């Protein structure tokens, strides 16, 4: 059974004190995760250790870094390696978020290197893909996403591809309040699964969690997550509000 995942992406938000209060408030709220359900908190680098300690002993709840560097170590001032992350108990990393691609010009080739170094260090990559508005309006979203998968993931073995979580994020729906319709979300995520099945096998494709990330809120989470090929969400703004994100967690199927 595929993992159903509610992943919070705090982005560059919250002071340390605000972050500590948010995680405490969330952990105090009622939710009971099933065996196939996970909650992941992708928090800013300065808060990783604090959140890791808060989650110690919690079942199916994990902390993630929002990025890592594509080199093992060396003279890369300001960067963070996967070995550093692993040494403080971090076992998930968000790779290739659209904001990293746009603002920091991360290429598909660089993201392939990041995926590789994560897997080599037993860290789960949450690999983001998705199209900008111009490609959606031209009905070329499938081609755009297929290229991202081809250039960043398809070099992986059948064993390793199953260790990756994929997060589809329509760039035009991030932080805009716009959300893909339930059918749009299902169609593109079914397309992603079909592409993986064609390159590997249907059994492998059906074993990979594919999340939706585009203005997921408490009000729409249940309907979005109910789609056959949507295995949860990568949640931005709504994950900064304890009650809101808790409702999203409880919307997992």
pLDDT of residue 133: 85
pLDDT tens track for 64-106: 999 999 999 999 999 999 999 999 999 999 999 999 999 999 9
Told to judge if 113 belongs to the known catalytic residues of this protein, a careful annotator would answer no
pLDDT of residue 175: 66
Cα distances (Å, whole numbers) of residue 209 to 15, 140, 177: 31, 23, 24
pLDDT of residue 192: 98
Q: Which domains does the chain have, with CATH numbers?
A: 4-249 (3.20.20.70)
pLDDT tens track for 103-120: 999 999 999 999 999 999
Told to judge if 140 belongs to the known catalytic residues of this protein, a careful annotator would answer no
Buried b (16+ CB within 10 A) or exposed e, 197-233: eebbeeebbeebbbbbbbbbbbebbeebbebebbbbb
- pTM for the structure as a whole: 0.96
pLDDT tens track for 143-158: 999 999 999 999 999 9
pLDDT tens track for 200-222: 999 999 999 999 998 899 999 99
Confidence of residue 173 (pLDDT cuts 50, 70, 90): confident
pLDDT tens track for 124-144: 999 999 998 888 889 899 999
How far is residue 44's CA from residue 64's CA, in Å, rounded to a whole number? 9
pLDDT of residue 214: 83
Active-site hit among 99, 106, 131, 169 = 169
Higher local confidence (pLDDT), 1 or 220:
220
pLDDT of residue 179: 67
Active-site hit among 92, 97, 99, 131 = 97
């Amino acid at each position: 059974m595929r993992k159903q995942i509610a992943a919070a992406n705090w982005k560059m938000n919250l002071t340390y004190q605000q972050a500590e209060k948010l995680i405490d408030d969330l952990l105090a709220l009622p939710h009971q995760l099933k065996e196939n359900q996970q909650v992941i908190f992708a928090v800013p680098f300065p808060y990783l250790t604090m959140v890791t300690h808060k989650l110690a002993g919690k079942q199916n709840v994990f902390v993630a870094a929002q990025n890592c560097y594509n080199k093992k170590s060396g003279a890369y001032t300001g960067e963070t390696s996967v070995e550093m992350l692993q040494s403080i108990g971090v076992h998930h990393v968000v790779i290739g978020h659209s904001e990293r691609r746009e603002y920091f010009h991360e290429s598909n080739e660089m993201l392939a290197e990041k995926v590789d170094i994560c897997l080599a260090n037993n860290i789960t990559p949450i690999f983001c893909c998705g199209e900008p508005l111009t490609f959606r309006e031209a009905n070329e979203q499938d081609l755009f996403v297929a290229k991202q998968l081809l250039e960043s993931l398809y070099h992986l073995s059948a064993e390793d591809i199953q260790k990756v979580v994929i997060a589809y994020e329509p760039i035009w729906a991030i932080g805009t309040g716009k959300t893909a319709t339930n059918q749009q979300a299902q169609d593109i995520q079914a397309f992603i699964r079909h592409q993986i099945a064609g390159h590997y096998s249907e059994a492998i494709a059906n074993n990979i969690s594919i999340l939706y990330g585009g203005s997921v809120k408490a009000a729409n989470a249940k309907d979005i997550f109910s789609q056959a090929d949507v295995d949860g969400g990568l949640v931005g703004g709504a994950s900064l509000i304890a009650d809101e994100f808790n409702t999203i967690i409880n919307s997992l199927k």
